[in-house]
Structure 1
């Protein structure tokens, strides 16, 4: 049974939670956000129906035989881990017998996974309100004890890399799924390369080991995820801080020689010609790390806006086109900060620059400019106006669909509603899953925008332009959505929905 068939087992609200839990590492946080919004709109809402559906028996084929299993066992390991983490977040408000029934179903699964087993134990501990015992397996305990003994001596020469190479070999034998180890290995490699002094290295190793030991001794999944995000942020910050320091080592002489030429052109705001294009050809010779260093040295984010159209015009004259990673770096350094800081409509020069690069490099623009702006806590009217122009004038249908799918994952405000309206007016080619997700999102957002005319007009656009997409489930979801509307357009919205039901 595929995912689409499984989704039909759930009601509209539960389906939105399932979609969130299927969305990778961020699934538990997304599901918690959706659940909180559902509770705000309906204080009596609970997860009883959701959990009961997960525990329903479903027929499936196992080892060439038709057997019956709980529905939750038919989902991927990622979904099950995300589900357990999500329930760990909100377990105090969930009926205990429902949680116990679900855990019993999960323990029947023949596909034993180490992380899932630990999370099941953790949730049992949550229910029982006890922290006795350990979540570590005997193998993990043995490995940690070995690490403690190995690094108790400050003069140890083995270091982290060799240690985890040995542990990696052991894990290949027992097929243990410890995804945290490769991360530690990468971190250790960086330590081995960057620190030559044995005493200083030993101190840093001991600090890192204490962190690793605390992780393995039962930190909840959400703290591990938070720590992983913190490590990534720290890595990005370290990269940013060291790039200028390492520039003399990273960039070759002829690339460094182009820096003052390009900076002078940017500062003078005039004099761009064929020689200017030649100076920018060094971008073709840089790897991704070198491009980051070069952009930092050029201070692209501080270049006068009046010079942006000419600079972008020269970029567009380069042959061949910039690689995806290079275009992403240039767009990020040159434009992202300016757009995020807009408090009034963008200048003509900035608009020209953004539109020219978006037309030539739409995918980097979607991923490294439009998406970060949409993920900002508040999308101002100036940013929304610029994004709407990009949607209407620069993006092809498949790139508009990328933007639309990003919007389904972010929090909505009036600025985001403007972008959605522009996308809908462009007659998006939505499949059944995309439209179902959209209507679920409309339903969850409707209490927040009950008096918003912009939201009401967007709903009217959906009901008038996407009638053919409205199936029975979506019709029910939209009807629930309209029940919250308090604008003078409510009668028109109900009439539009009724016409769709009459045509079915």
Structure 2
């Protein structure tokens, strides 16, 4: 309802910030695209509009009309995304505009603790020395109460004592479970059977330990723990349990809960089928949202995802991307590594359309896991060739925002450069990541140290030319001196162009 207050560029940012938990990241992508289209654009109009007073409808017990900054009238999720977005781009914003916005947010009649904490963190980043803690007073009080419940509060090893104290308590729980078990056996003549596996047992015991620290017990959890104990004893009792049930299964899927095991079988059947997938078939992938990182590894191994045919990848990735909830970072990284890493490293010719489609779709949705699970490991590989470099360049140019490109560029500082890697570094520089003085200095040190092995490399010369033209404003007198020595070794036809570009750089 407030979109009409904003200009066309700002409307896109507002819509992005309203788009769920990933709103800040989406807004950052919109902002970078707008910057590429118009390098002179700024966020001043956007910030000013958010700070304009807006006449609001009357509240119960208030005056008939009140005026509040427009930003206060947006939902809490928008405010959280807004402050996260500003935190990411605050280096290109005037500090006065940010402080004015924070002052407007402080006029909110119903402040949200998360919004308040994000605002204080932003103030600290701006150097305004806000000494107030990020948590609220009620939160502080609850933390103190929790700390005081710990054994040895105020001493070293408080947590360790608390947890070690639970060992005795856990044994007593097991004993009580055994006692109850004996009573049930006399009454019913059989053990209580339990379908859950060892992993669920671990979760239940962990929950009991955590509750012990808080001094609380829930009857339902006590009963559940006793049932787990009964199930474990039943599996260990030779007289009551068949021999084949005592042996640990060889399959890695043994550690998965039953409902995930069922879904794994359905997914496996789906991956092996030659028919088109309908919506009901794709719904089976919702089980991925139920997996923790360890379970995701087992699931990927059970499905043999590294050996999956490439023509199946687009359908599988499409199903993953339509999940109602985004996967966690760890789960997404595990899935990406299983699906793509082996295939990309083994490329001996340009990547197939199916592999490119799968990689770009996952990179667009999960850029950070993609950087750490696929792009980073490929960069670290010593023997990558042009097929790998070509695929990574497509991801860099089409899917990754500036801060991810900067992350990848910094990764190259830690490895030996090769001809294939030079084209990736050149692509990263062409995309103009936000280089600060420290990072640019590290990069020039790499250029100077790695340069002697590329004296006849045209790729290295072209990369140097990009540095001297697109990043001339970053070059200091010290950089210029180092780079001039590096250029003296160059033996390509671009040597004169490089020296002329370096000579044109002046310092005031």
Q: Does the alignment pair 1:406 with 2:408?
A: no
Match of 2:273 in 1: 268
Farther-moved stretch of structure 1 (326-335 vs 284-293): 284-293
Count of residues in Structure 1 that have an aligned counterpart in Structure 2: 265
TM-score for the superposition, normalised by structure 1: 0.51
Pick aligned residue for 1:351 from 356, 360, 374: 356
Q: Does the alignment pair 1:303 with 2:318?
A: no
Question: Within 5 A, what are the aligned runs for 1:424-503?
Answer: 424-501=429-506, 503=507
Farther-moved stretch of structure 1 (328-337 vs 403-412): 403-412
CA contact (8 A) 2:253 2:298 kept: no
Pick aligned residue for 1:255 from 253, 260, 276: 260
CA pair 473-293 structure 1, distance change in 2 beyond 3 A: same
Q: Does the alignment pair 1:374 with 2:374?
A: no
Shift of 1:466: 0.2
The CA RMSD measured in Å over matched residues stands at 2.0
CA contact (8 A) 1:267 1:303 kept: no
Q: Does the alignment pair 1:286 with 2:281?
A: no
Q: Does the alignment pair 1:361 with 2:359?
A: no
* CA distance in 1: counterparts of 2:341 and 2:253, whole angstroms: 26
Residues 214-241 of structure 1, C-alpha deviations (whole Å, 9 max, x = no match): xxxxxxxxxxxxxxxxxxxxxxxxxxxx
Match of 2:326 in 1: 321
CA contact (8 A) 1:450 1:487 kept: yes
Higher relative contact order at CA 8 Å, sep ≥6: structure 1 or structure 2? 1
Which segments of 5 or more consecutive residues in structure 2 lack a partner in the other structure?
A: 1-154, 159-247
Shift of 1:317: 0.2
CA pair 171-361 structure 1, distance change in 2 beyond 3 A: closer
Shift of 1:398: 0.8
* CA distance in 2: counterparts of 1:171 and 1:362, whole angstroms: 40
* CA distance in 2: counterparts of 1:441 and 1:244, whole angstroms: 52
CA contact (8 A) 1:244 1:293 kept: no
Question: Within 5 A, what are the aligned runs for 1:217-228?
Answer: none
Match of 1:62 in 2: none
Shift of 1:260: 2.1
Shift of 1:249: 3.6
Residues 287-340 of structure 1, C-alpha deviations (whole Å, 9 max, x = no match): 111110010000011111111001000000001111111100100000000001
* CA distance in 1: counterparts of 2:282 and 2:493, whole angstroms: 56
Shift of 1:267: 2.1
Residues 25-53 of structure 1, C-alpha deviations (whole Å, 9 max, x = no match): xxxxxxxxxxxxxxxxxxxxxxxxxxxxx
* CA distance in 1: counterparts of 2:284 and 2:346, whole angstroms: 29
**Structure number with larger C-alpha Rg:** 2
Q: What's the secondary structure of 1:447's corresponding residue?
A: helix
CA contact (8 A) 1:244 1:296 kept: no
TM-score for the superposition, normalised by structure 2: 0.50
CA contact (8 A) 2:360 2:395 kept: yes
CA contact (8 A) 1:397 1:428 kept: yes
* CA distance in 2: counterparts of 1:171 and 1:283, whole angstroms: 38
Shift of 1:427: 1.3
Which segments of 5 or more consecutive residues in structure 1 lack a partner in the other structure?
A: 1-168, 173-242
CA pair 337-476 structure 1, distance change in 2 beyond 3 A: same
Shift of 1:170: 12
Shift of 1:272: 1.7
Shift of 1:275: 2.0
* CA distance in 2: counterparts of 1:244 and 1:279, whole angstroms: 25
Shift of 1:247: 2.8
* CA distance in 2: counterparts of 1:371 and 1:383, whole angstroms: 12
